[in-house]
């Protein structure tokens, strides 16, 4: 059953979970295409209010009656077959599609689909690419898994011929996409509640690369062993980027660091394509910039759009996001939830001019914490003070009997906090002038830092 035949003017689509981070932009894009959009969400929210302001009907709560006379249902990954709207649709013979299938069908309508994948760095790189394409006045449509200040949202609906999409491997959702430029930032063992092992993750990314048509391009990180392994024996040319490998298609040259921020040339096939000064630190962000610039180059954008776009990029929401000052310490929040991301964040932070690094980390999911336990222990030894919040369950039950206290026992001096209020209390006790305080994780750890900052307000 092909979803494309349903996404046409006059058809009525019901979006279950319409207020979600990539469902609300989907609703807006479909609405703009002339599809009659309705939906439901568990809560009222600013996203729901915004959709209603466009004339989209949104019900709060899930009930089979909400389906009305819809022609199809689109759901988020969080909504399962036992949901009353899904079971109601199945009973009535109304086709049910996944969110990723709908985004994939939309991509077919664009000449260029720049799809950015990787175990980590996706949101930042997609945001960088958005800045570049906006600077080039290409009026792109964008779908990001985080908030970008430039857009005041995680998406935009443009009238240009390019769609830029963060492309997630979890549940193989990016295999529903139609990339013309597929970017692979890195490939590591993650989402092991879905994938069996690293080889299984690599197979998924390889299948993603295979989706690119003859006229398209695969862009990949030559410095990453997982990306190289994924593309070993790939039949078509790959556009490789590398931090310093001069024989790669794209590399950085003449890197100069000032107060922890890099300035460098982007060299493509032997010639300087752009000179950029980043407003975000860390070697991982040089790599992200090279990836975004490679996509821009292959789609014909001039180097000055890259320089201008990246000069205006100050980070995506929850990616090393400054939250405020507390008694002479500076508080930042970051979404890092994989050992590779933690390593990039903490090694970058150590280069910044702070007296100490105080890191409050909340592991995300029991399966990830268990599978990557040793790696987490090693990375969490890097800060001067490590505070561990309890594991954020997300979609899981704790069948493994694991706790953050298990990590704390392996890390000298680490402090275990069973609740977020205890994290805030501990931060208050340890904070000193000149400290960099980091709240880190993909769950709700940011609330501990925000509570600390509210106290002095």
Q: What ranges do the domains of the chain cover?
A: 3-98, 110-311, 321-455
Query: Residue 198: pLDDT band by 50, 70, 90 thresholds?
Result: confident
Residue 43 pLDDT class (50, 70, 90 cuts): confident
Cα 401 to Cα 364, 369, 396, 404: the distances in Å are: 15, 11, 12, 11
Sheet holding 112-117: strands in order across?
Answer: 153-156, 141-148, 162-166, 112-117, 181-184, 217-221, 239-242, 250-258, 261-268, 271-277
Task: Give the integer Cα–Cα distance in Å for 66 and 338.
Answer: 38
Q: Report whether pLDDT(376) > 60.
A: yes
CATH topology of domain 110-311: 3.40.1190
Superfamily of domain 321-455: Mur ligase, C-terminal domain (3.90.190.20)
Query: Residue range 141-157: average pLDDT?
Result: 79
Distance, CA of 210 to chain centre: 22
Phi/psi-derived region of residue 413, left when phi > 0, alpha when psi is between -120 and 50, beta in every other case: left
Class level of CATH domain 3-98? alpha beta
| Residues belonging to the chain | 457
- 360/334 Cα distance (integer angstroms): 10
| pLDDT at residue 457 greater than cutoff 70 | no
CA distance 218 to 231: 10
Average pLDDT, the chain: 93
- Read off the pLDDT band of 120 (50, 70, 90): confident
Can you give the pLDDT at residue 328?
95
> DSSP states of 375-417 as a string?
HHHHHTTSSSEEEEEPPB-TT---TT---HHHHHHHSTT-EEE
Region 228-247 average pLDDT: 95
Query: Closest Cα partner for 438 from 310, 347, 374?
Result: 347
If you average pLDDT over residues 230-237, what whole number do you get?
94
Task: Look at 145 and 24; give whichever has higher pLDDT.
Answer: 24
In this chain, the answer to whether the domains covering 3-98 and 110-311 adopt an identical fold is: no
Please, what is the end-to-end C-alpha distance for the chain in angstroms?
56
Please give the share of the chain, as a percent, with pLDDT higher than 90: 79
Please tell me the predicted confidence (pLDDT) of residue 204: 94
- Would you say residue 425 has pLDDT above 90? yes
What's the predicted TM-score (pTM) here? 0.80
Which tokens in the block code for residue 375?
Answer: 């790696």
Segment 195-215 shows an average pLDDT of 92
The mean pLDDT value for 311-326 works out to 87
- Which tens digits make up the pLDDT trace of 52-106? 999 999 999 999 999 999 999 999 877 889 999 999 999 999 999 999 999 999 9
Give the pLDDT confidence score for residue 21 in this predicted structure. Answer: 74
Say how many CA atoms lie within 13 Å of 399 toward its Cβ: 6
């Amino acid at each position: 059953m092909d979803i494309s035949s349903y996404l046409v003017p006059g058809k009525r689509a019901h979006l279950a979970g319409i207020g979600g981070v990539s469902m609300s932009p989907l609703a807006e894009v479909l609405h703009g295409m002339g599809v009659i959009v309705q939906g439901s969400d568990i809560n009222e929210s600013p996203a729901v209010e915004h959709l209603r302001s466009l004339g989209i009907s949104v019900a709060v709560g899930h009930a089979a009656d909400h389906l009305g006379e819809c022609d199809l249902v689109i759901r988020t990954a969080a909504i399962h077959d036992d949901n009353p709207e899904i079971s109601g649709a199945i009973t009535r013979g109304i086709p049910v599609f996944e969110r990723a299938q709908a985004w994939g069908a939309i991509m077919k309508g664009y000449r260029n689909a720049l799809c950015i994948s990787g175990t980590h760095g996706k949101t930042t790189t997609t945001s960088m690419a958005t800045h570049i394409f906006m600077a080039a006045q290409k009026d792109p449509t964008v779908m990001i898994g985080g908030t970008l200040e430039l857009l005041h949202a995680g998406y935009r609906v443009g009238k240009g011929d390019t769609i830029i999409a963060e492309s997630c491997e979890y549940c193989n959702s990016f295999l529903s996409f139609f990339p013309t430029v597929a970017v692979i930032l890195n490939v590591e063992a993650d989402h092991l509640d879905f994938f069996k092992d690293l080889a299984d993750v690599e197979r998924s990314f390889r299948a993603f690369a295979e989706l690119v048509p003859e006229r398209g391009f695969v862009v990949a990180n030559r410095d990453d062993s997982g990306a190289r392994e994924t593309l070993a024996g790939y039949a078509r040319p790959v556009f490789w980027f590398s931090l310093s490998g001069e024989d790669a298609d794209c590399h950085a040259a003449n890197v100069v660091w000032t107060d922890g921020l890099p300035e460098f040339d982007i060299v493509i096939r032997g010639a300087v394509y752009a000179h950029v000064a980043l407003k975000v630190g860390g070697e991982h962000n040089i790599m992200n910039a090279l990836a975004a610039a490679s996509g821009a180059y292959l789609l014909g954008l001039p180097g000055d759009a890259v320089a201008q776009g990246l000069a205006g990029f100050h980070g995506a929401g929850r990616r090393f996001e400054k939250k405020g000052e507390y008694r002479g310490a500076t508080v930042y929040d970051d979404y890092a939830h994989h050992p590779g991301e933690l390593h990039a964040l903490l090694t970058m932070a150590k280069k910044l001019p702070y007296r100490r690094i105080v890191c409050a980390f909340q592991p995300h999911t029991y399966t990830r914490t268990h599978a990557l336990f040793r790696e987490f222990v090693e990375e969490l030894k890097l800060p001067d003070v490590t505070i561990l919040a309890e594991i954020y369950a997300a979609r899981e039950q704790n069948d493994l009997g694991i706790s953050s206290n298990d990590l704390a026992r392996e890390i000298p001096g680490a402090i275990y906090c069973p609740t977020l209020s205890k994290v805030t209390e501990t931060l208050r006790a340890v904070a000193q002038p000149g400290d960099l305080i980091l709240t880190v994780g993909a769950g709700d750890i940011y609330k501990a830092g925000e509570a600390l900052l509210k106290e002095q307000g």
